[in-house]
Amino acid sequence: MKLSSRILLGMVAGALVGALLRLLAAHPDSFGAALGAWLVNTAFDVVGSVFVASLKLMVVPLLFVSLVCGASAMGASARMGRIAGKTIVLFLCSTAIAVSVALLLANLIDPGVGIELGGSAAFDAAAVPSAKEMLKSIFPTNPVQAMAEGNMLQIIVFALLMGIALWRSGEAGAPVRELFTSLNEVIMTLVTLLMHLAPYGVFCLLAKLIAEIGVAAILDLAKYFGAVLLGLLVHGVVIYSLLLWLLARRSPLTFFRNVRPALLFAFSTASSNATMPVTLNVTEQRLGVDNRVASFVVPLGATMNMDGTAIMQGVATVFIAQAYGLDLSWGGYLAVIATATLASIGAAGVPGVGLVTLVMVLEQVGLPAQGIALIIGIDRLLDMARTAVNVCGDCVFSTIVASSEGLLDDAVFAEVSDRDRYTAGS
């Protein structure tokens, strides 16, 4: 069976087992409930956490090594400037489109009309840093600390500088360049090996999640849940297909077939950061995007490009306004589009961060941040779906930028064989 089919099977089986364990937990004194509790709190917890940790441990070394390779191959050339420019413009435009789609759908569906206020959960609105602070914090004073803290934007800046310096240092830098190229190969092989564990890891993550939170909460917020999912579907399938076709002239069907493993990883971990090694592997080895583009667009996208998150924020803003009986003006809608687009830049791709930056959006249009308590109960499930769209966007824009630069290997992109490309060492 292909890797993506095995991961999908792991997910479905995990969700079913989780649902079963939740049923068993309804009889607290039974043997089944005790066994279920042990499975959920110990076995699934350990395997799931080890799986996510094994992905995360590769993020910093891979991001650094891969981007140094990419930047040292391009140097501070006009091409690098072009790639950076195109990437950032695409990220911003597509996020603005995503919020607009969300606002349109939310106004058609009216998810917040008739919602009971007085949410059960409390939400602690954390302080969001200002744009000035954000800009200053992108430049590291200590690269080792940036790596220890996993600060993606700081590592990107340091790797770009290192790469450019390597490019300029000519003969003297050759051994270091070779070292980085070889390290890059080694880490990619590790990613490939670890991807084989995904079906088991995904099974445990899903079983634990469904056993713990269940899906009943969705019923109370069915319209909100449905509106976000519809927005994600429209953006992830229709808008991305159109962009791929119009800007890169590549078949969306082939694209979606190739990116499946990255989407499944994103869905089960709810973290673009943790999925980054797989996203990079998929863009280079299955989509045929050259390392010079992928090593820049993918890590930057994991932090800056969050269309799925922006869609949730658009729908959530309308939902909260309706639930509190407040009206959003046209100016308010524009402010939502601008703030949600900018908020996605500063947020790291980790679970639940979309809710934190939602505070920024709500405050911008004068809505109560406490409204987030209404939707917090089902956010984890939506987080999974929107992270898949976030990661899909990173793959779409890598493909488009690579194609526009003549750096897309069509033979790899169009490969239709059923052969599992993830055989160890390939």
Residues that bind ligand ASP (CB under 6 A): 270-272, 306, 309, 349-354, 383, 386-387, 390
Least distance to ligand ASP, CB of residue 394, Å: 10
**Least distance to ligand ASP, CB of residue 388, Å:** 9
Give least dist CB 363 to ligand ASP, A: 18
Q: Kindly tell me which of 56 and 223 has the beta carbon lying closer to ligand ASP.
A: 56
- Kindly state the smallest distance separating residue 272's Cβ from ligand ASP, in Å: 3
Q: Which residue is nearest to ligand ASP (CB)?
A: 354
Compare residues 353 and 407 and give the one whose CB is closer to ligand ASP.
353
Nearer to ligand ASP, 70 or 308 (CB): 308
Distance of CA 169 to the CA centre of its chain: 35
Report whether 374 contacts 245 (CB < 8 A). no
Q: What's the closest the beta carbon of residue 353 comes to ligand ASP, in angstroms?
A: 4
- Nearest approach in angstroms of CB 360 to ligand ASP is 13
Q: Which is nearer to ligand ASP, 67 or 276 (CB)?
A: 276
Nearer to ligand ASP, 293 or 381 (CB): 381
Q: Which is nearer to ligand ASP, 36 or 351 (CB)?
A: 351
Q: 54 vs 390, which CB is nearer to ligand ASP?
A: 390
| Shortest distance (Å) from residue 381 CB to ligand ASP | 12
Please state the three-class secondary structure of the chain as a single string: CCHHHHHHHHHHHHHHHHHHHHHHCCCCCCHHHHHHHHHHHHHHHHHHHHHHHHHHHHHHHHHHHHHHHHHHHHCCCHHHHHHHHHHHHHHHHHHHHHHHHHHHHHHHHCCCCCCCCCCCCCCCCCCCCCHHHHHHHCCCCCHHHHHHHCCHHHHHHHHHHHHHHHHHCHHHHHHHHHHHHHHHHHHHHHHHHHHCCHHHHHHHHHHHHHHHHCCCHHHHCHHHHHHHHHHHHHHHHHHHHHHHHHHHCCCHHHHHHHHHHHHHHHHHHCCHHHHHHHHHHHHHHCCCECHHHHHHHHHHHHHHCCHHHHHHHHHHHHHHHHHCCCCCCHHHHHHHHHHHHHHHHHCCCCCCHHHHHHHHHHHHCCCCHHHHHHCHHHHHHHHHHHHHHHHHHHHHHHHHHHHHCCCECHHHHCCCCCCCCCCCCC
Q: Whose Cβ is closer to ligand ASP: residue 346's or residue 351's?
A: 351
Q: How far is the CB of 405 from ligand ASP (least distance, A)?
A: 26
